[in-house]
Structure 1
Amino acid sequence: MDAFWSHSWHGSSWMKIATVFFLSNATAACTISTAAAILAGIAFGLGWLPSFDSQSVQCFWCMGVGCVSYALALLYWRSRRKVFVDRICISQDDPQLKAEGLFSLGAILQSADEMLVLWDPSWARRLWCVFELAAFLYTRPSNLQKPPVSIRPTLLGHTIFSVLVALLLAGWTFHLSMIFGYSLQMGVLASLGLCGVIFFAIAHLARVYCRNVTTLCDQVATFRVATAKSYCCDVDHKVSGDDQPMICDREIVQRCIVKWFGSVPYLANRRT
């Protein structure tokens, strides 16, 4: 297995999905769209593609074909990496299968080559999320200087998307201004104006990210297994619409911690 993806169920789903799309498919999308734009330029130069103006030597096909091919590749490119995602790989409907999956989590983490943490402010408050990271580090060799763990904020996808929209609007504004006969200075000013509005929002996202990093440091410094949040404890170990008791994840985690690290306080003191 190539990677284990750790995430909080209480984070924004669409932000996590957007981040995963860019992390997994952005390289392929850039390669395909660049190649498509170059081919469109060559086809235009050979006269295979029409122009909006028979006297114009400007090619508007490159940006159009490049943008469309980038979007399609980003959405539909299929990565060959094998990853583990709890909601998909562990049954959420069958209690028996779910329990077997939870008890096998240590072996699953050991078989993963790397871990990707899709981080948001709720991640460090969830018991399972922190336990997954601790378990993954436990399965790595003790002399490993840099564990194969990548932490990516879920704001990343939103931010990259905003940058792409800003550049797309700026490019098309400039091209359209040239089509309708506006001056070069007017096209540049209009493009920069649109970019400025969106980049102001991007700057706000950067400030939010910096505040979240400060929050993460505080959460790690004050993390305790006893106070970490867990869904089973939040619902008082009762399945909705059923009198059957729910398995307590906290008890399972504490047993694993005692087995691996000797005691729960020892794990709480191991902060790197």
Structure 2
Amino acid sequence: MICAVVALLLCRAGMLPLYIGQRMARFWCSTAGMVGYYLTLLLWHRKKRAFLDIACIHQTDPVLKAEGLISMGAFLKNSESFLVLWDTTYISRLWCMFEMAAFLHNMGLGTHRDKFLVVCPVFVGPAFLLGQLGLNVVVLAFLVFVEIPFFPWAAVFISGLTFPCFTLLTDLMLAHCRSIDTVQNQVRRFAIEDSLCYCCSCGHVDKRTGVEMNCDRKPILHCITAWFGSVEHFETVVRGKVLTALVHQLANNVFSYQRLVYALCPVIWLYMDLMTSAPDWEVVVELSLSACSYYLMVLPSLALLVLRLAYRLRKVAFPGWCCNLLLSTGLVAVGATAFAICFSVSAILAGLSNRHFQSHIPANAAVLAVTTVVALLLWRCLPVDAISTPD
């Protein structure tokens, strides 16, 4: 974002050319934003400390490993938050389930668990990255065709680029929503004797060295008894309160507002590119108000509505991938229709504002105010998705 802002200021100061040949160069902010975003993603190192068990507990020395396992309670008690990199095998791993249950047991399983428990499926990073790459392509295409009439040809071209990308992402969201039911069924049947340890899965022999490994199950059971009193109580906690926290995270917080705003960065870069050639500061203000409306309010709220609708339709399954793809297409069509309605209303208000006030600022300010209220109501008051009843 900083790189895009710098590019905007340089363009407004005349230090970057607005024309290359006879063609307007409306790409500086998007290009700078993309370069800065991906360089930060690859090179930035967070200074926040993290405890990763496989890296922090000795894996070859049996004495040090046993001491690390026994000391796990101290590590959990001194941790401020717990990040779960979720995949379908997580529930089957005894050590992982103990860590999450013990952390929640220590921190409390009340209404504020979202502050310290974060469940992030492993597909989320690649999905957001691919989605943003697709959005970058669309933004650059829009900037290329911005000088031709938006309707019909530019709209058709941009829709042709965005619709397949959004359909695939929606299909991925549907698959995630359906997997939540599978997770619930697995956790409801959770039993320690069915859980796996890495040492047991490889026959207590290190595959790389051939050296015999000590079994982790005994120290884990010792920790479980120390924390929960008994194995039975631990299983009850996992099937009850841990299940509630886990499903709440997977159903409601995977596609959070913050993550959606990060993924939608190309939208604000697009508005910055349009500001580079704005004839006066009044147009800059108009574009700024519109950018806030669509980037921060409209698009995240539409994504939330499509996500909630996808969760409601997760049990609708059709034979064959074509029918399921049609369902994903229908969800995208719902979002696109809602966006078109919002865009049309904004255009009508802009026309009325220009007629009465000779400016689009009042209309854009009104749209921002209304969309802010609607977004707050949706993100704060829309009922969250909860545990479903067993089939």
Q: What range describes the TM-score normalised by the shorter chain of this pair? A: 0.7 to 0.9
Pick aligned residue for 1:155 from 120, 123, 144: 123
Between the aligned partners of 1:92 and 1:261, the Cα distance in structure 2 is 26
Q: 1:244: how far off?
A: 4.4
Q: 1:99: how far off?
A: 2.6
SS in 2 for 1:226: helix
Residue by residue, what CA displacement relative to the aligned partner does 1:122-175 show, whole Å, maximum 9, x if unpaired? 111111110101221232358x55333222222221221132022101011122
Match of 2:77 in 1: 110
Match of 1:18 in 2: none
Between the aligned partners of 2:196 and 2:94, the Cα distance in structure 1 is 6
Between the aligned partners of 2:211 and 2:139, the Cα distance in structure 1 is 59
Between the aligned partners of 1:241 and 1:59, the Cα distance in structure 2 is 55
- The answer to whether the aligner puts 1:231 opposite 2:163 as a matched pair is no
The answer to whether the Cα contact below 8 Å between 1:121 and 1:215 also exists between their aligned partners in 2 is: no
Kindly provide the amino acid, as one letter, of the partner of residue 169 in structure 1: V
Kindly provide the amino acid, as one letter, of the partner of residue 146 in structure 1: H
Pick aligned residue for 1:268 from 231, 235, 244: 235
Pick aligned residue for 1:146 from 108, 112, 118: 112
The answer to whether the Cα contact below 8 Å between 2:3 and 2:32 also exists between their aligned partners in 1 is: yes
Between the aligned partners of 1:93 and 1:203, the Cα distance in structure 2 is 44
The answer to whether the Cα contact below 8 Å between 1:162 and 1:202 also exists between their aligned partners in 2 is: no
Q: 1:87 to 1:259 in 2, by over 3 A?
A: closer
- The answer to whether the aligner puts 1:251 opposite 2:205 as a matched pair is no
Provide TM-score, normalisation by structure 2.
0.56
Between the aligned partners of 2:226 and 2:96, the Cα distance in structure 1 is 19
- The answer to whether the aligner puts 1:168 opposite 2:145 as a matched pair is no
Between the aligned partners of 1:121 and 1:229, the Cα distance in structure 2 is 13
Q: Following superposition, which runs of at least 4 residues in structure 1 exceed 4 angstroms of deviation?
A: 54-58, 241-244
Number of residue pairs the alignment of both structures matches: 236
SS in 2 for 1:82: coil
Between the aligned partners of 1:246 and 1:196, the Cα distance in structure 2 is 52
Kindly provide the amino acid, as one letter, of the partner of residue 47 in structure 2: R
Indicate the larger mover: 220-229 or 112-121: 112-121
Between the aligned partners of 1:93 and 1:200, the Cα distance in structure 2 is 47
SS in 2 for 1:116: strand
Between the aligned partners of 1:166 and 1:81, the Cα distance in structure 2 is 31
Q: 1:37: how far off?
A: 1.4
- The answer to whether the aligner puts 1:136 opposite 2:103 as a matched pair is yes
The answer to whether the Cα contact below 8 Å between 1:155 and 1:209 also exists between their aligned partners in 2 is: no
The answer to whether the Cα contact below 8 Å between 2:93 and 2:197 also exists between their aligned partners in 1 is: yes
The answer to whether the Cα contact below 8 Å between 1:44 and 1:59 also exists between their aligned partners in 2 is: no
Indicate the larger mover: 67-76 or 132-141: 132-141
The answer to whether the Cα contact below 8 Å between 1:258 and 1:264 also exists between their aligned partners in 2 is: yes
SS in 1 for 2:20: coil
Kindly provide the amino acid, as one letter, of the partner of residue 99 in structure 1: A
Between the aligned partners of 2:21 and 2:15, the Cα distance in structure 1 is 13
Match of 2:10 in 1: 43
Q: 1:136 to 1:48 in 2, by over 3 A?
A: same
Between the aligned partners of 1:184 and 1:137, the Cα distance in structure 2 is 52
5+ residue gaps, structure 1, are 1-32
Residue by residue, what CA displacement relative to the aligned partner does 1:179-234 show, whole Å, maximum 9, x if unpaired? xx755443332222111111111011101101211111011100001111111111
SS in 2 for 1:83: coil
Provide TM-score, normalisation by structure 1.
0.78
Q: 1:67: how far off?
A: 0.9
Pick aligned residue for 2:44 from 70, 77, 80: 77
Q: 1:61 to 1:145 in 2, by over 3 A?
A: closer
Kindly provide the amino acid, as one letter, of the partner of residue 143 in structure 2: H
Match of 1:61 in 2: 28
Kindly provide the amino acid, as one letter, of the partner of residue 118 in structure 2: S
Matches within 5 A, 1:158-197: 158-178=126-146, 183-185=149-151, 186-197=153-164
Indicate the larger mover: 192-201 or 152-161: 152-161
Between the aligned partners of 2:49 and 2:191, the Cα distance in structure 1 is 32
SS in 1 for 2:112: coil
Between the aligned partners of 1:262 and 1:38, the Cα distance in structure 2 is 56
Kindly provide the amino acid, as one letter, of the partner of residue 42 in structure 1: L
Between the aligned partners of 1:123 and 1:46, the Cα distance in structure 2 is 53
- The answer to whether the aligner puts 1:100 opposite 2:67 as a matched pair is yes
